Amino acid sequence: MRWFGPHLKIAIGVALVAGMAFVALFADWLAPHDPYAQNLMLRLRPPVWADRGSWAYPLGTDNFGRDLLSRLIHGSRLSIAVGMLAMAVALTIGTALGLLAGYLGGRVEQVIMRFADAYQAIPEILLAIVIVAVFGGGITVLILVLGFAGWETYTRVVFNLTRSLRERPFVEAAIASGAGGRYIMARHILPQMVPILTVIATLQVAQLILQETALSFLGLGLPPPTATWGNILAEGRDRLLVAPWIANLAGGAIILLVLGVNLLGNGLRETLDPKRADRS
């Protein structure tokens, strides 16, 4: 089974992700209709391959007569944007804290790492629920909730790497030649971690997209009528008997994107970090 190696995984992953990114970027041109235009005369039209389907609405329409294909195309934007931005939040906070803890050591390390341990014991869904309960849903709230839930993975990895890199000769040489802590962290330590952080960040984006769609599905994400995949799936759930395609097409869109990101991340891990690929 050697042929299903990292290169094939990366190729499939890149194809899926690039396809979705293309759709998201050119959503305005690709979507055949306005995703928010309601037409009650055209409610719950089936997709083109079903009996009453037509090419005017290739994937059918929803309960308000909105074109499902256009809503799915626009939904890709939000999922990708929220996933990437939340990852950036988690990556920035987590890496900064990990670098500080690993480079400074001592009491700073104790405080940061114990905090990370305690934080990990708290289910992120609880934080999300409290925040949404008080502030309501919105794109900024959503990105921050997801970003603040995922930082401690980076902290732990960056901390361990920084601690071992600190002892390496090239860092000692930099210290001896008078470089300051901030310079060493930015120029000598951080670049060493780019491969492993890329892998973790990619795999995290997949998880974040799933969490975003789950929060939307629960009604804790962006409020309807916003076209998110989670919202479309939630609306489709209430029409399973008459219009099962709504929920299933939204679910299919989610799994294609997340599978692409996961394959890309796994492939990258096997190429960039072959020694650790068998673990974690």
Partner 1 sequence: MRYLLRRLLLVPIPLLLVVAFVFVVLRLTGDPVAIYLGLDATPEQEALLRAELHLDEPIPVQFGYFLWDLLQGDFGTSIQFKTAAMDIVFERLQATLVLLSLGLTLAIVLGVLAGIACAVWKDRLPDFAISILAVAGQSMPSFWLGILLIQFFALELGWLPTSGRGGWEHLVLPTVTLATFLVPNFVLVTRISVLETTREQFVTTARARGAGAGRALWLHVLPNAINPVVSLVGLQLGRLMGGAVVTETIFAWPGVGRLMVSAIFQRDVPIVIASVFIVAVTIVVANLLVDLLQAAIDPRIRMR
Question: Which of 64-72, 92-100, 110-118, 161-169 is the region at the interface with partner 1 (rule: CB under 8 A)?
Answer: 110-118
Identity (one letter) of the amino acid at 161? L
Q: Looking at beta carbons only, is 24 or 141 nearer to partner 1?
A: 141
d(CA 258, CA 246): 19
Q: Which of 210, 222, 227, 264 binds partner 1 (CB under 8 A)?
A: 210
Give the pair of three-digit tokens for residue 259.
């599978």
Under rule CB under 8 A, residue 258 binds partner 1: yes
The minimum distance between CB 60 and partner 1, in angstroms, equals: 16
Under rule CB under 8 A, residue 233 binds partner 1: yes
Q: First and final CA of the chain: distance in angstroms?
A: 21
Under rule CB under 8 A, residue 70 binds partner 1: no
Under rule CB under 8 A, residue 271 binds partner 1: no
The minimum distance between CB 127 and partner 1, in angstroms, equals: 7
Q: Which of 40, 41, 133, 176 binds partner 1 (CB under 8 A)?
A: 133
The minimum distance between CB 115 and partner 1, in angstroms, equals: 8
The minimum distance between CB 217 and partner 1, in angstroms, equals: 5
Q: Looking at beta carbons only, is 19 or 179 nearer to partner 1?
A: 19
| DSSP output for 112-179 | HHHHHHHHHTS-HHHHHHHHHHHH---HHHHHHHHHHHS-HHHHHHHHHHHHHHHTSHHHHHHHHTT-
Q: Looking at beta carbons only, is 98 or 150 nearer to partner 1?
A: 150
**H-helix segments, the chain:** 6-25, 27-30, 68-104, 106-120, 124-135, 139-149, 152-166, 169-176, 181-184, 194-218, 229-237, 244-272, 274-277
Give the pair of three-digit tokens for residue 47.
């997709």
Q: Name residues contacting partner 1, limited to 40-69 (CB under 8 A).
A: none
Q: Looking at beta carbons only, is 154 or 217 nearer to partner 1?
A: 217
DSSP 3-state of 67: strand
Say if CB 249 and CB 260 are below 8 A apart.
no
Say if CB 17 and CB 261 are below 8 A apart.
yes
The minimum distance between CB 176 and partner 1, in angstroms, equals: 35
Identity (one letter) of the amino acid at 68? L
Question: Which of 20-28, 62-70, 122-130, 184-192 is the region at the interface with partner 1 (rule: CB under 8 A)?
Answer: 122-130
- The residue ranges that bind partner 1 (CB under 8 A) are 1-2, 4, 114, 117-127, 129-135, 206, 210-211, 213-214, 217-220, 230, 233, 236-237, 240-241, 244, 247-248, 250-251, 254-255, 258-259, 262-263, 266, 278-280
